[in-house]
Each structure stands twice: as C-alpha cells, then as structure tokens.
Structure 1
Amino acid sequence: MNPNLLILFKGERHDYGKVNMHAHKFWQLEIVTRHHVAYTMLNEERQLLSAGDMLLIPPGLEHEFVYEPPGAAWITLKFERSPADCLQREVTLRKSLFTEKFTASLLAMVTGTILRPYEKRFVEGMLEALFMYLESEEADQTEDAPSQLIRTVTDMVRERNGKPISVDEIAQELSYTRSHISKLFRQLTGESLKSFIDRIRLDKAKEMLRYSEFNISYITEELGFKDIFTFSRFFKRMTGANPRQYRSGK
C-alpha cells in the first residue's frame, strides 16, 4: 500500500517545550527546518537533530521530543503505510543533498497544512520516494568530505541535462585541480569522470530519440554537439548504432 498521509503540521517554538514519551500506530517523519530539535527513543540516549536533518519513526516505537531556546521550526508528517514492519527502528537522515531537495520540494508545493487533494497525493508520492531512497545504495554512502564532493560533481553533471561539461570546468568551479577530481572520482566510483559524463549524455540522447518527436538536428543542438556528424560518431561509439538506427529500433 502506498503511503496514506494523515496529517502535515508545521511547528515552531521560541521557548522550551517537550512532547513526552509516546508511541502510535502510524509512521512519523520529522524534518527540522531551523535550529535544533532533540529526540529520545525509549531506553536510548538523547540525540540532536539540526536544520536539514530528518527522522523517520516506524509505528510502535516510543519517542519524545524536546525544544529548547532559541527556538526551532520543523515539519511533522504522520502517515500510514504497509508493510509496517519494513523498518525495525528509527532512521536518522543527516543533512544532505537528498534531504535538502526533499524539504525544498515539500515547502514549494505545500504552502498550508489543509491540503488540496493533489497536494496530498504529491506529498504521499514524496514519502514513497523516501522509502525508495532508503533502499538504494546512495542512502548507504557515508557523507564524509570526499563523498560529498563526488555527490556534488555528479549533481553538476546531471543538472546539465545532457549538455556538455568538461572535467576542467568542474574542477575550476569547485576550486580543485583536474587530477585531484579525476583521481578521487575513480577511487570512489570505479569509473572515470569523463566516462560518467559521456554515460549521462548518452542516457539523455537515448531518452530524446526514443520518446520525443524532435528531429535529430534539434536533438544534436539541444545536447550541445557541434553537428550531426559529431553526435552520430559519439552515439555509435557508445552504442554501436547510429541515432537513426536506434530511433527506428534496428
């Protein structure tokens, strides 16, 4: 069963406050948007959530929250989802690109707490995406400084939407040398950065050839290739077929 959102609440405190130890039959997601919120699970030490952190609590786990000056702001989502036993304990997601995008999308789409039907469905889709993220390899990656840097690099490439970007451009924008970025990327991913850039561009090219009505000249220009010959040579080197053959399924 996909998530069924029960309530979305935007909280804010400027003084001390506490929600005593309790449990409930539904899921709870806490997103801290300002300052800090402390939480304690039953028989465990107190933990601190900072702005950008998220806490996912499965049904039946006892927990409490403490709000201390200078005050905090947070978003609470409570929802139902089956199977309820897919997680045995709480999951803390520290501030990362994923939590930032999740929170920004939520705040951009939902301005109030009395949701319209399409807003409710949007939030439920985001909650399901959260569980997909937790099952992905990306969620298991440690967010040390090198991993954060590589995450930034991959995001820069993906956000180009198939357009060209060079290793030199990435290194210059991030204030690193080309050799450092290239070496670190290969160490942590097992793939060269140039190969990753080409693969992302190829994926976008395949998508446009297969699912859009744009002609190949337009796709060539949109993806930043100099001319059709250059695009065709790139595509054939990567796939063994030229763009027209790929589009026709031959």
Structure 2
Amino acid sequence: MQTPRSRKHQRPGADAVRIPSHQGHRQARRLSIAAKGSAEPGNRAPWHERRAIDARFPVRCWRGNIHGFPLHWHELVEACLVESGSLAVFVDGRRIVLSAGEMVLIGPQRIHGYEGLGETRATTMLQFSLDEVSLPAGHVSDDPSISSVYSGLRILRPSPGAPANRKSATDSNPAHRIVSCVRDISREFTDLQPGYRSAVRARLLDLTVILLRAEDDAELTHETHRGAADIRRHETLERVFSYVQEHAEEPISLDDAAAAASMSRSHFSRFFHRETGRTFQQYLARLRVSRAEQMLYQTDLTIQEIALRSGFGASSTFNRLFRRYTGRNPRSCRRG
C-alpha cells in the first residue's frame, strides 16, 4: 500500500478527482476517505498487526510493564496476565479492568487494546497460532471444538482460595491451572533450556484441554457471539483505524475520522466512545505516543523529528502527552 506522502508526487490518473482550488485540500481529503471506505477490508487494514513470526513455532511470550497499546487485531490467540497493578483491556468495544492475578484470553481477529492504570502494571503476554494447539499441526479445522474454545473473549478472575502459581497437576481450579500454564510458558521462554519448544507445546495442549473441560466454570467468562450488528461495527472501526494509520503524520480532525466512518461528527463521537471506551482524540493521542515511543527506542532521530513524524505539531504537546501516557519523559527513553 502506498503511503499518503508517496501519492502526493504521483501524476493524477484517469480516475482522479479534481477539486477546485478555492474549496481547499480538506474537501479533497474527505473525498479520498469516502473512496477508501468502499475498498475491500483486505486493502484497508494497515492497523492489522502483522509481526514476523516463525511459522515452525508460532508462539511468542514476554513479560514487562505495559503503559498501553492502541486498538488493533491479528490472527493469533492472545493472553494477557496481570502480574501486578491494574490494567484496562478494551475488546470489541468493552472496557475490562483487570487486577493482579487476573487474565484475558482474546481470540483471533478481535479488536483489542490496553491501557495501564497507575504506576505499576506488570504483565505476561502470550500469543500463539491456533495450529499450534492442534494435532497434527496445521489441521485445526479437523477439530472444531478447538477453534471454538479459543474464539471470542475469556475473562479469568481466579478466586483467592488457592495460590495462582500452583502446578496444574495439584490444583483442581481451572482458572488457577490456566494461569499456571501461562506462567510455565513464560519461564520456558526466559530460561530457553534444551527442549523448551516441546515444553511450550505441551503446556499449550494442557491449556487447551483445561478450557475444553471447563466451559461452565464460573471463573471463566466466555463470550463468543458476534451478530451482524457486531460485524458492521467492526468494519466501521476498521475503516477509521486504517485511515488514522495511513495519515498518522498529518493533522487528523474529528471531521476526518467521521468521514472515514461515513457518519456525522456527533454520531461518530458517540459511536467511537461507546465502542472503544475513549474519545477519538484520546485514541489518536495514545496511538501517536506509541509510535513515538517505538521510534525513540529504534531510531536515532531527534526528539523534535520524532514528534513531527508522530503527528504532533509542537514539541511541548508531544512532551506533555508522552508523560501523561507513559509516565516518563521522552529523553529518559533515550537514556534507557
């Protein structure tokens, strides 16, 4: 997909829309947004997370403090276990607050994001392909119960009756056993002992069996239904997120986002807040801070250059919002 910057230097084709100069470039952008809205979903999803993953071992696991992550989706199952502090999880328009020891399990193609609450929010994150929990590998469709058990959203709130880090063999509580599986997988990725991949696969299969046999457990909320209205809302958000990702370096107004959603400004404001739990301006600021944070760690660009490339018009605005969402000064990221 071409970036907006590269399109500016192209000669207009036969299907280009010419706008009289007195109407300004904003109307041209509105028409461009409307045209994108009619494209196929596969052609307008740059916010679809596509990180490189080893097809021979499609599993990732890591631990760390999470400040937040913008709304996105991918083809992997994702588990987020809160180790300390509190974390707000946004899934398909819902806002779920998790405390230490609680976890969400999010199925593929679900819109989700995170926002840290307070200063300490250590998490263990696990992502894996459905094919990794199917035998033989690559034939998950042969066992529909496996794909169904990982569909939708699961919220795990283990009761405090037993420690959540007990071994699954000695703990009959399904929620505790699931948390134990995730922590065991995390330890395997940390230690990288010989045979760690086989150990991880074994724990993923344990996790699958626990879920299959605990459908009615009160501590494992499972929500799977997605009706036609849910799909339409997903597609509308997809158009908005796609537009924002494409134009993140440029000024983006509420009117621009509303045009991407084919809604009026007021209708879009209510829709976006209802579906995501935050205003569009809050989402845009969070996304730009995340882009800036990544560039601070991965590039040698100056802070002023990063602020501009992240869509912030002024360094003072960038510094203020960066501290608000990460709790740190941008320069402290450069110092490590």
**Larger of the two Rg values belongs to structure:** 1
TM bin (shorter chain)? 0.3 to 0.5
TM-score, length basis structure 2: 0.33
Higher strand share: 1
